[in-house]
Amino acid sequence: MDELKQLVSKLESGLSGRLVSVILYGSGATAEHGKFSDLNVLCVLKEITPRELSESEPILRWWKQLGHPSPLLMSEEEVHHSSDSFPIEFHDMKERRRVLYGPDVIADLHVDRKYHRVQVEHDLRAKLFRLRQQGAAVLSNPEALLKLCVDSVSTFCVLGRHALIAGGIHAKSDRRAVVHQLRDTIGMDVSAFEILLDIREDKSGVDPGDPGELFARYLECVRRLVEYADGLEA
C-alpha cells in the first residue's frame, strides 16, 4: 500500500540512521487483509530517547490522522527481551508479519505458550471488567451502549482468536471466521458478535434490536470466553 511506503520513507528520513526495522503485523499483513483490518506496525530503533520520540512525533501524528493505530516503537534490546511480557503481541508478529524495512528481528524470537495463555486470560478478564464498568455508566443511553459494544468487538475477536490458539486450535485470521470457530469450539451463542461485526462493517439493513438485550448477550459471550481460557490452565 502507498501509505505504508510513505510511512517507511518518512521514518527512514526522519530518524536518519537510527531506524532498524519496520514490520507490519496482524491481520493487515495477511492475504485476507480487508478494509476493516487494522494496519499494526512495529518500528524498531537502535535506541529510544526523548530525541527519537520528538523526531517521530509528526510522523506518528500523520499516521494516526489517516485512521491507523499508532505504531509500536521499540528498541532492538526491548524486542529481544519482551516476548515473555507481551506474548500475544509477539505471537501475532511471529505468525503474521511482513517486513517493510530492514532485517526480520522477529524471526528468532520464542514465545512461551504458558505465558501466552496467562496473558490471554488476563486480558479477557480485564476487558470484561472494563466493559461492565463502562456499560453500567451508559445503560440508560441506547446509542452510547451500542457504540461501546461496536467499538470493543474487534478486540474481543482478537482475544478470542488467541484463546483458540492457546487451546491448540489452528485459528483463522478473519474475525467472522474466528467467531464461528468459537461457536463450534465453546458451544456458545455468537449472534451478538455477528450483529456487532455487521454494524462495524457498515452492512446495510442491520437491526441490532434492543441495545440493552444485545449488551446482555454480548457480556455472556465474553464471560464464556473467559471461562474457556481459564479452563485451559489444567
Q: Which three cell numbers stand for residue 82?
A: 519482551
What residue spans define the domains of the chain? 2-101, 113-231
Question: What φ, ψ does residue 58 adopt, rounded to 5°?
Answer: -65, -30
Which DSSP letter does residue 68 get? P
**Per-10-residue mean pLDDT for the chain, 234 residues long?**
91 92 88 66 95 94 93 94 92 92 94 93 97 96 96 95 95 92 95 95 86 96 96 78
pLDDT of residue 58: 95
Do residues 88 and 123 lie in contact, with contact meaning Cβ atoms separated by under 8 Å? yes
H or E, element range at 21: strand 19-25
Q: What is the pLDDT of residue 106?
A: 95
pTM of this prediction? 0.83
Element (H, E) at 19: strand 19-25
Nearest Cα to Cα of residue 66 among 147, 150, 6: 6
pLDDT of residue 16: 84
Question: 2-101 maps to which CATH number?
Answer: 3.30.460.10
Apex 26 CA angle, 25 and 27, nearest 5: 125
The pLDDT value recorded for residue 188 is 92
